[in-house]
């Protein structure tokens, strides 16, 4: 590898410009067929329509008696019981005038009957039943095909496989489904100062926490991390790791994208081919972002400070991965919350402020979780959301509503309040 240092050409761009540029490189991965128990969290790669009716036949919504509504237009009415129908048993005897069949929820309505009277509205008689309440035709009858019938569209490519959809697929008799592949993502830490957590000694070195926060963030969305460990700040060693990393669908490195003496990422990425870009994204935290498409794979050089890494992952890497996985919605939801404290900053960069959220009087309130420096991981640990303060703003007064990007999937309050 050439040893001449390349002077970083830092193009300054906005968050939305950077997001658009990286998303332009994100293409859905090929599809694969997986069994129903493997598919939760994946994204459909096919359209699915029903080819059967559910329910398959008219059936009872209640435990009670299947009757002819005309027989119970005046009550009490005494009917002869001609059959007993638990769920799953097919009826053999039609229900004639003056007759009823004892029926359980889910059992098919016998021929001749057109309504069900629930058991609470009846009294037993020897060999029969006394009906105490009138019934309209169709009462407590679940119609064949009232859920789906042949041709009903159920889901389309791009839909996430949530539990209800997985259940629906099972209900129509599917045992497997076509989904997008999950991307493998190489995670590489760079930095002479870094060690693994089990090598932490009192020698001034620090743990590569990014190795773990990134793997966790990847697992959260169903991507498959491939951890390549820590590389020292030596360009040849870093390049070797990147070449290994290109066996994965996406590559993420952290550290070494600043302008320090040992910041080699830009030079290494330039050597991988493709147009190497180094952006000073107008945001805080998370400013420098190196990006190249090498061998058709997006390769991200994220900054080293843990919160910069995570915020850059949120804004740029996560949407790319979700798009590759076939998701239609690739951004975190954004809500509006009232900022609880004054916030001041210089104009020029968009700030992502780590906040906790609470709900009062039907409104969300956002409270900064502590020191907002990009190396302070604890304030990120405590954050439910990132409050967004516009690049040009210099002050947001307490009490002002701000957009908050929800980075937590959990509900805001544990007590459902109902």
Contact residues: Mg ion, CB under 5 A:
191, 255-256
Q: Which is nearer to Mg ion, 183 or 191 (CB)?
A: 191
Q: Which residues pair with 293 in a beta bridge?
A: 298
In whole angstroms, the minimum distance from the beta carbon of 212 to Mg ion comes to 17
Q: Which is nearer to ligand AMP, 286 or 303 (CB)?
A: 303
Tokens linked to 158: 């791009």
C-beta atoms surrounding 144 within 10 Å: 16
The CA distance from 357 to 372, in Å, is: 16
In whole angstroms, the minimum distance from the beta carbon of 202 to ligand AMP comes to 17
**Contacts with ligand AMP, residue ranges (CB under 6 A):** 189, 191, 193-194, 206, 208-211, 254-258, 260, 303-306
* Binding partner selected for residue 56 from Mg ion, ligand AMP, none, CB under the kind-specific 5 to 8 Å limit: none
Q: Are 11 and 305 in contact (CB under 8 A)?
A: no
Q: Are 355 and 387 in contact (CB under 8 A)?
A: yes
Closest by CA position to 308, among listed 209, 222, 394, 235: 209
In whole angstroms, the minimum distance from the beta carbon of 185 to ligand AMP comes to 15
* Binding partner selected for residue 254 from ligand AMP, Mg ion, none, CB under the kind-specific 5 to 8 Å limit: ligand AMP
Q: In the block, which residue shows the tokens 């237009």?
A: 73
In whole angstroms, the minimum distance from the beta carbon of 287 to ligand AMP comes to 10
Q: Are 371 and 364 in contact (CB under 8 A)?
A: no
The CA distance from 290 to 253, in Å, is: 9
Q: Which is nearer to ligand AMP, 211 or 369 (CB)?
A: 211
Q: Are 41 and 161 in contact (CB under 8 A)?
A: yes
* Binding partner selected for residue 305 from Mg ion, ligand AMP, none, CB under the kind-specific 5 to 8 Å limit: ligand AMP
Contacts of 31 (CB under 8 A, 6+ apart): 45, 46, 178, 179, 180, 181
In whole angstroms, the minimum distance from the beta carbon of 353 to Mg ion comes to 25
Q: Which is nearer to ligand AMP, 154 or 195 (CB)?
A: 195
Q: Which is nearer to ligand AMP, 210 or 379 (CB)?
A: 210
Tokens linked to 225: 């991390």
* Binding partner selected for residue 31 from Mg ion, ligand AMP, none, CB under the kind-specific 5 to 8 Å limit: none
In whole angstroms, the minimum distance from the beta carbon of 167 to ligand AMP comes to 41
Alpha-carbon distance values, 143 to 151, 176, 181, 225, 360 (Å): 17, 28, 39, 48, 45
* Binding partner selected for residue 209 from Mg ion, ligand AMP, none, CB under the kind-specific 5 to 8 Å limit: ligand AMP
Q: Which residues pair with 301 in a beta bridge?
A: 253, 290
In whole angstroms, the minimum distance from the beta carbon of 302 to ligand AMP comes to 9
In whole angstroms, the minimum distance from the beta carbon of 288 to ligand AMP comes to 8
* Binding partner selected for residue 390 from Mg ion, ligand AMP, none, CB under the kind-specific 5 to 8 Å limit: none
Closest by CA position to 29, among listed 222, 316, 304: 222
Q: Are 404 and 351 in contact (CB under 8 A)?
A: no
* Binding partner selected for residue 194 from ligand AMP, Mg ion, none, CB under the kind-specific 5 to 8 Å limit: ligand AMP
The CA distance from 39 to 35, in Å, is: 6
Q: Tell how strand 48-49 and strand 153-155 pair up.
A: antiparallel
Q: Which is nearer to Mg ion, 256 or 298 (CB)?
A: 256
Closest by CA position to 249, among listed 197, 184, 191: 184
C-beta atoms surrounding 170 within 10 Å: 12
Q: Which is nearer to Mg ion, 185 or 189 (CB)?
A: 189
Q: Are 76 and 67 in contact (CB under 8 A)?
A: no
In whole angstroms, the minimum distance from the beta carbon of 200 to Mg ion comes to 18
Q: Which is nearer to Mg ion, 184 or 258 (CB)?
A: 258
In whole angstroms, the minimum distance from the beta carbon of 304 to Mg ion comes to 5
Q: Which is nearer to Mg ion, 130 or 237 (CB)?
A: 237
Q: Are 67 and 95 in contact (CB under 8 A)?
A: yes
Q: Which is nearer to ligand AMP, 63 or 263 (CB)?
A: 263
- Point out the residue whose Cβ comes nearest to ligand AMP: 304
């Amino acid at each position: 590898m050439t040893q001449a240092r390349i002077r970083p050409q830092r193009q300054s761009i906005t968050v939305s410009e950077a997001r658009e540029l990286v998303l332009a490189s994100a293409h859905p991965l090929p599809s694969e067929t997986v069994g129903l128990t493997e598919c939760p969290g994946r994204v459909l790669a096919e359209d699915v329509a029903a080819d059967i009716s559910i329910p398959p036949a008219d059936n009872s919504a209640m435990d009670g008696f299947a009757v002819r509504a005309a027989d119970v237009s005046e009550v009490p009415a005494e009917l002869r019981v001609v059959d007993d129908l638990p769920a799953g048993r097919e009826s053999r005897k039609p229900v004639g005038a003056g007759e009823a069949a004892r029926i359980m929820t889910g059992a098919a309505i016998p021929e001749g009957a057109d309504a069900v009277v629930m058991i609470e509205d009846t009294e037993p008689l020897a060999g029969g039943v006394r009906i105490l309440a009138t019934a309209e035709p169709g009462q407590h009858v679940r119609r064949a095909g009232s859920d789906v019938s042949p041709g009903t569209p159920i889901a389309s490519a791009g839909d996430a496989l949530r539990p209800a959809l997985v259940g629906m697929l099972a209900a129509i008799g599917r045992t497997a489904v076509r989904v997008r592949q999950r991307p493998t993502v190489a995670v590489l830490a760079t930095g002479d100062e870094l060690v693994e957590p089990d090598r932490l000694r009192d020698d001034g070195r620090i743990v590569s926490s990014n190795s773990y926060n990134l793997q966790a963030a990847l697992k959260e969305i169903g991507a498959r991390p491939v951890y390549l460990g820590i590389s020292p700040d030596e360009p040849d060693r870093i390049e070797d790791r990147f070449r290994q990393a290109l066996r994965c669908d996406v590559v993420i490195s952290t550290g070494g994208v600043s302008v320090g003496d040992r910041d080699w990422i830009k030079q290494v990425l330039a050597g991988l081919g493709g147009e190497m870009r180094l952006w000073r994204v107008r945001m805080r935290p998370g400013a420098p972002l190196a990006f190249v498409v090498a061998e058709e794979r997006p390769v991200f050089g994220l900054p080293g400070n843990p919160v910069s890494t995570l915020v850059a992952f949120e804004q740029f890497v996560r949407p790319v991965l979700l798009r590759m996985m076939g998701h239609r919605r690739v951004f975190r939801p954004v809500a509006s919350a009232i900022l609880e404290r004054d916030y001041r900053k210089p104009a020029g960069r968009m700030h992502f402020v780590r906040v906790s959220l609470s709900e009062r009087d039907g409104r969300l309130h956002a409270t900064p979780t502590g020191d907002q420096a990009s190396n302070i991981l604890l304030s990120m640990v405590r954050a439910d959301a990132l409050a967004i303060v516009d690049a040009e703003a210099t002050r947001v007064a307490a009490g002002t509503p701000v957009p908050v990007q929800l980075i937590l999937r959990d509900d805001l309050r544990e007590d459902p309040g109902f």
